[in-house]
Structure 1
Amino acid sequence: MPDTSLPKTAADGDAGQGGGPVPRSTALVLLLLVILLWGVNWPVMKEVVGHMPPLTFAASRLLLGALSLLAFAAATRQLRVPHRGDLPLLLSVGFMQMTVFTLLVTVAVQHVPAGRAGILAYTTPLWVVPLALVFLGERVGWLKALGLLVGLAGVLVLFNPSAFDWAAPPVLLGNGLLMLAALIWAVNIVHVRAHRWIGTPLTLAPWQMGMAALLATAVALALEDVSRIDWSGHLVVLLVYNGPIATAFCFWAMVTVNRALPAITTSLAMLGVPVVGLVVSALWLGEPLTLTNLAGLGLIGAGLAAVALADTRRA
C-alpha cells in the first residue's frame, strides 16, 4: 500500500509569503547534513557538560544559535515579524523542540553515555508512527513498515535492557528524560507537518530560538551558578560548533525537512543520528563499540535502507 501525502492546504502552506516546502531533493540533502552534524554533537555535548553546568550550556547554545539566525535572516532580508497565523508554530517549535527538548537532553547526558543518549533521544518513530497515522492520515506500506520494525529492533539491541542499571536513580532519571524528550519531539514533528504555513522556516526561526534562549537563560539563572564555567580555547571551539552549526543551522534545517517530507519518513531517518553518535563517541570518547552495538547499527542501517527504497519507489 503506497504512502499518501497530506492535502496541499495542510502541507504546503499558503501560496503567498510562505510558499510551498523545499523540493524533495533539497530536503534529503538537509536531512543528511542534520544526521551527520547532530550525530557528532552527542559526544560534543558530553564534553561540554564536563566544563560548564548543563542548563547554562543549553542557554548558551540557544543564545548563540538565536544570534546566528538573527544575523542570517537580516542579511538575507528575511527578518520580519511573524504572522498571527504562525504563532502556534512559533510556540510549538520554540518551546517544545528548542527549549524543552534541549534542556532535557542536556541534563540527561550528564548521567548517560553519549552514544546511548543518542539512541534514546531518537526513539521518536515509536511515537510519530501512531500520531501520523491518526492525525496526518499518512499510510505505511509494507516496505516502510518492515523498515520501521527492523530499525526499532536495532534500537532495542543497542539499548540492551539487560545491561541497564535499574537500581541507579541518576541513570533512571537520565534515561527517563531522554524518552520524554523523544515523545515531545514526535508531537512537534507532527505539528510542523500539519500546520498551514504562512511564513517560512527562516522567517520564524530567529523568533523561535530567541524565545527558547530567553526561557533557557531564565531557568539557568534560577537553578545554577553560571560563574562555574571552566573556560578554555577548547570549550570555545565546542560552543562555536554547538551554537551556530548544531543548533541554529540544524534546528532550521530540521523544521524545513519536517515541512517537506512525510512525518514517518523523517522520524525513521533520524535513527541515523544515534548511529553516527555511537561511532563518533567510540572514536572520540573511547566508549565501547561492542558486537551488540555493531549488530544494532546493522539493523538500523537495514531499516533505513528499506525506508529509503520505499520512498524512492513512491517518488
Structure 2
Amino acid sequence: MSRTSSSAPPPAPGAAPGAPAPALAYGLFALTVLIWGSNWPIMKIGLTMIPAFWFAFLRVFLGCLALFAVLAAVGSLRLPKRSDLPVILSVGMLQIAAFLLIINLAVPVVGAGRSAILAYTTPLWVVPGALLLLGERLRPLKTLGLLAGLLGVAILFNPMAFDWADTAQLRGNALLMLASLAWAVAILHVRSRRWQGSPLELAPWQLLVAMPPLLAGALFFHPDWRPPARWDLALLLLHNGVLATGFCYWAAFTVTRALPAMSTSLGFLGVPVVGVLSSAVIVQEALTLSVIAGLLAILLGVTLVNLSDLRRNRRRR
C-alpha cells in the first residue's frame, strides 16, 4: 500500500545527496512494491483472526513504533513544525485511519485482488477535485487518463461480471470507493498547503494521530477481544506493522529521493498488479477477464494522470 508518495512534494529528477546507489535503490523499490502488493491477501487472512478496528490499530501502532525507532537511530527524529500540523492531521485521520479501517471492513467481503485495484483509483478522483478546488487545468493527457480509469471502473461493475443484487458486495465495493475518496481528499489538502518537514519526518506523527480513533473504535466495538497466542498471527502483524507500514514508508521515501520521478511514479503502479496476482496464488481468488481488463484500464488511466502531473511539475521547476 503506497501512502507516502501522494503526500510528498515532487521528487527531483536525479538522485538526492545521501541517497543510495541506483542499483540498491531499484532493489529497495522492487521489495517495497512486492511487500505492499502481497500485503493485500495477507490482510485478508489476518481479518479472519482479528476484528477490523483492532487490525488497523495494531498495524498503525507497530508501524509508528518502527518509524520512531528508525528516525531516532538516524538522528532525524524531531517535533513537527506548527505549520505542518494540518497536514499531519489530514493525512493521519483520512489517508491512514479512515483508509485502513474502511479497507479492513471491505476486504473480507470483496476480496483482496479487487480491493487492491479499487483502492488504487485514488489518483482518478483527485483530478476533478483539483479542478474544482485547486483551480488546476484539465489537460488533454489527464482527460484521457480519467476516461480510461473510469472505463476500468465500469468494466469491474458491468452487470455480466458484478452481481448488483448482492447487497454485501455492493456495500463492500462502496466502502472501497469511499476509502479511495478519503485518500484523495487528503491528497488535495496536502497539495493546497505549504509544509516544511519531509514526508518521512512527518510519517510517524501521522501514524500517531491515527491511533486514538482506531483504538477508541476497537474498544467500543470489540472491548473483550484479546489476540490469540499464535505464531502465524504474530508474523502477520509484524508483516503489516513493521514491514508494510514502518519499513515501506521509509523505503518509499528513500527511493523517491534516489530514482527518477518517472520511475517511481509509474513503478508504484505495480502494487495493485502484485496484489491481484498474489491474491490468486495465496488465497486462490479467480483471475477473471473483467478483473484483468478493469485492472489494465485503470492502470492506463492512472499512468496518464501521473504523466500529466510529471509534465506539470517539470514546467514549474
In the superposition, the TM-score normalised over structure 2's length comes to 0.78
Describe how 1:41-56 pairs up with structure 2 within 5 A: 41-56=39-54
1:134 to 132, 135, 139: 132
What residue is the counterpart of 1:17 in the other structure?
none
Distance 1:277 1:271, change over 3 A: same
Mean CA deviation greater in 185-194 or 227-236: 227-236
Residues 1:148 and 2:146 are matched in the alignment = yes
CA offsets, 1:60-116, max 9 Å, x none?
100001101110111122222211111111110111111111111111112211112
Mean CA deviation greater in 63-72 or 187-196: 187-196
Deviation at 1:238, TM superposition (A): 1.9
CA offsets, 1:170-208, max 9 Å, x none?
333222221111111001112222320122222222211
Asked if the contact 1:53/1:226 (under 8 Å) is kept, the reply is no
Deviation at 1:216, TM superposition (A): 1.1
Deviation at 1:226, TM superposition (A): 5.3
Amino acid at match of 1:98: I
What residue is the counterpart of 1:209 in the other structure?
207
Mean CA deviation greater in 210-219 or 130-139: 130-139
Question: How many Å separate the matches in 1 of 2:211 and 2:146?
Answer: 34
Matched residue of 2:109: which SS?
coil
Distance 1:169 1:230, change over 3 A: farther
Asked if the contact 2:52/2:105 (under 8 Å) is kept, the reply is yes
What residue is the counterpart of 1:94 in the other structure?
92
Deviation at 1:270, TM superposition (A): 6.4
Asked if the contact 2:200/2:250 (under 8 Å) is kept, the reply is yes
Question: How many Å separate the matches in 1 of 2:52 and 2:152?
Answer: 29
Describe how 1:282-301 pairs up with structure 2 within 5 A: 282-301=280-299
Distance 1:68 1:97, change over 3 A: same
What residue is the counterpart of 1:15 in the other structure?
none
Question: How many Å separate the matches in 2 of 1:246 and 1:41?
Answer: 7
Describe how 1:1-315 pairs up with structure 2 within 5 A: 22-24=11-13, 35-225=33-223, 227-251=225-249, 272-303=270-301, 306=304, 315=314
What residue is the counterpart of 1:3 in the other structure?
none
Deviation at 1:313, TM superposition (A): 6.8
Which runs of 5 or more residues in structure 2 are unaligned? 1-6, 17-24
Asked if the contact 2:113/2:272 (under 8 Å) is kept, the reply is yes
CA offsets, 1:24-57, max 9 Å, x none?
4569979876654332221111011012112111
Asked if the contact 1:271/1:300 (under 8 Å) is kept, the reply is no
Asked if the contact 1:52/1:228 (under 8 Å) is kept, the reply is no
- Percent of matched pairs sharing the same residue: 51
What residue is the counterpart of 1:16 in the other structure?
none
Asked if the contact 1:55/1:103 (under 8 Å) is kept, the reply is yes
Asked if the contact 1:78/1:202 (under 8 Å) is kept, the reply is no
Mean CA deviation greater in 91-100 or 298-307: 298-307
CA offsets, 1:277-311, max 9 Å, x none?
11111121111112223333333454455556656
Question: How many Å separate the matches in 2 of 1:282 and 1:190?
Answer: 33
Question: How many Å separate the matches in 1 of 2:163 and 2:268?
Answer: 26
Distance 1:274 1:286, change over 3 A: same
Question: How many Å separate the matches in 2 of 1:141 and 1:31?
Answer: 30
CA offsets, 1:113-168, max 9 Å, x none?
11122222222234200112233444443334323322332333234444333344
Asked if the contact 1:119/1:159 (under 8 Å) is kept, the reply is no
Root-mean-square deviation (Å): 3.5
Asked if the contact 1:154/1:297 (under 8 Å) is kept, the reply is yes
Matched residue of 1:237: which SS?
helix
Question: How many Å separate the matches in 1 of 2:79 and 2:306?
Answer: 37
Distance 1:231 1:120, change over 3 A: farther
Asked if the contact 1:123/1:271 (under 8 Å) is kept, the reply is no
Question: How many Å separate the matches in 2 of 1:158 and 1:85?
Answer: 41
Which runs of 5 or more residues in structure 1 are unaligned? 1-10, 13-19
